[in-house]
Structure 1
Amino acid sequence: MTSVETLKAMAAAAAVALVQPGMVIGLGFGSTAAHATRLIGERLASGALRDIVGVPCAEGTATLAREMGIPLTTLDEVNAVDLTIDGADEVDPQMALIKGGGGALLREKMVAQASRRVAIIVDESKLSPALGTRFYLPIEVVDFGYRATARWLEAQGGSVRLRVRTDGQPFRTDQGNLILDWACGPITDPAALAARLAARAGIVEHGLFVGLATDLFVAGASGVRHLTR
């Protein structure tokens, strides 16, 4: 049986094959995206790639990229990102995503929206008939009134919990915000829910990524499937 880490590495390798010399690359956050970042760094070191610059989606990604020798820039310093490679927590048949399990959803979405092409890399366990079936929906919120925001979310259905670290303290994003993990159940219309969440004061960002993925690499026991939208 193929291990999950092997599947992640397979999907990452397939996506990294899209990287060409001279590109600005969005570097995603999470265990699957880390495989892609390491592989890009290895190919730069070997000379198989050149003139690559990365835009990291999280401080943790920036640290890994520097360790791998990948030159970095920011969204403020580039006109566009040629290709972003990132993972996902759940993917529906229309290639809509839930992201934010690692807490980097705001920066990940900003980089994705600035990208000409967004390649999502997953193992087949992340595929779902409807978003919210297998994974909670992360909601990044400000401290002020976060309990009121949680009550509003619960009024929409489901349950909400404040994300905490292993030491019991509230988890903080790179922006210093809190995350509410909303077990909302299957989402029938991700775009409509995304619009409702975006309109609610106190919500900084949500983990629904709708219409952003252009390529999906799904690794399974039989190999890697490449789907496009």
Structure 2
Amino acid sequence: MSDTLSPIDQAKANAARKAVEFVEDGMKVGLGTGSTAAWMVRRLGERVREEGLRIVAVPTSSRTAALAREVGITVITLDEAKWLDLTIDGADEFDAEMNLIKGGGGALLQEKIVATASDQMVVIADSAKEVAHLGAFPLPIEVIPFGAEVTRGLVEELLGAFDVMGRRTTVRMSGAAPFRTDEGNLILDLHLGRIGDPRQLALMLNQVPGVVESGLFVDICDRVVIGHSDGRVEVRDIHDLSVKVMELPVGDTTNIFSNIGD
């Protein structure tokens, strides 16, 4: 892996640099999971070390928890926090209404619980994650192992009643074995192509026995911070419909993940 940032990683890093500015002293903060969220955790750790920022954080996965501790962020459980001021997380896709597909990293259940237990959710992304319609990225759903193939069949049957382009489902793998979430569940990836009504699909998927949660995040995101490789950052707010574009100072272009394999 290169020691300098690719354009896409520079865009992620820029979004993360801007998003951590929303974190204030004394806050309880939810920390997302995934490659973009990892940039945010690193930058937040810098603020803790260099500015003396006093926060506690609730990670959305064991991977994020380990990284947060590594960079000096105090980690607590959601039950200890009870409620959060802010959650910052990435997204696999987002549309104009700030509906999201999440779960590419397999942590969608904890991510949704943490996001909905927060006053605000800020999503960080590069511009390639913006889409006219959700669905090009496979939609993950978390299912319990018992009767997983039956659940899969019920989901495929359900999809026939919705405005989607495809109905193929696959079990997410980790090498030769099925991928397991932190809760020991499986992930089904739904290859839909296009989702006509994300809100209705999210509601109905959660009615299928065996489905724990879907990666459709509807009416949860408050702001999207979009990073660009040239230093521009765009902040969109769902509440006042504002769009702000700004230039960030030139930052470090070193790849902080250069020692991590692909």
TM-score (normalised: structure 1): 0.96
Residue 200 (str. 1) matches residue 203 (str. 2)? no
2:253 corresponds to which residue? Answer: none
Sort the Cα spacing of 1:32 and 1:121 in 2 relative to 1 into closer, same or farther, 3 A: same
Q: Please state how far the C-alpha of 1:154 moved relative to its aligned partner.
A: 2.1
Q: Please state how far the C-alpha of 1:50 moved relative to its aligned partner.
A: 2.1
Match of 1:188 among 196, 215, 234: 196
**3-state SS of the aligned residue for 1:62?**
helix
Match of 1:22 among 26, 43, 65: 26
Sort the Cα spacing of 1:168 and 1:2 in 2 relative to 1 into closer, same or farther, 3 A: closer
TM-score (normalised: structure 2): 0.84
Q: Please state how far the C-alpha of 1:200 moved relative to its aligned partner.
A: 1.1
Q: Does the CA-based 8 Å contact 1:95-1:216 persist in structure 2?
A: yes
Residue 40 (str. 1) matches residue 44 (str. 2)? yes
Q: Describe the superposition over 1:180-214 as per-residue Cα deviations: whole angstroms up to 9, x where unpaired.
A: 00112211111111110111110011100000000
Q: Does the CA-based 8 Å contact 1:20-1:49 persist in structure 2?
A: no
The CA distance in 1 between the partners of 2:77 and 2:127, in whole Å, is 32
2:168 corresponds to which residue? Answer: 159
The CA distance in 2 between the partners of 1:184 and 1:34, in whole Å, is 28
The CA distance in 1 between the partners of 2:107 and 2:113, in whole Å, is 10
The CA distance in 2 between the partners of 1:26 and 1:177, in whole Å, is 22
Matches within 5 A, 1:107-186: 107-132=110-135, 134-155=136-157, 156-157=159-160, 158-165=167-174, 167-186=175-194
The CA distance in 2 between the partners of 1:140 and 1:114, in whole Å, is 19
Q: Structure 1, unaligned stretches of length 5 or more?
A: none
The CA distance in 2 between the partners of 1:51 and 1:10, in whole Å, is 23
Match of 1:91 among 94, 100, 121: 94
Q: Does the CA-based 8 Å contact 1:25-1:53 persist in structure 2?
A: yes
Question: Which is further off, 155-164 or 15-24?
Answer: 155-164
2:245 corresponds to which residue? Answer: none
Identical pairs, percent: 47
The CA distance in 1 between the partners of 2:13 and 2:168, in whole Å, is 34
Higher-Rg member (1/2): 2
Q: Structure 2, unaligned stretches of length 5 or more?
A: 161-166, 239-262
The CA distance in 2 between the partners of 1:32 and 1:57, in whole Å, is 14
Question: Which is further off, 214-223 or 91-100?
Answer: 214-223
Q: Please state how far the C-alpha of 1:65 moved relative to its aligned partner.
A: 0.4
The CA distance in 1 between the partners of 2:53 and 2:17, in whole Å, is 17
1:64 corresponds to which residue? Answer: 67
Q: Please state how far the C-alpha of 1:135 moved relative to its aligned partner.
A: 0.2
1:227 corresponds to which residue? Answer: 236
The CA distance in 1 between the partners of 2:227 and 2:19, in whole Å, is 11
Q: Please state how far the C-alpha of 1:43 moved relative to its aligned partner.
A: 1.1
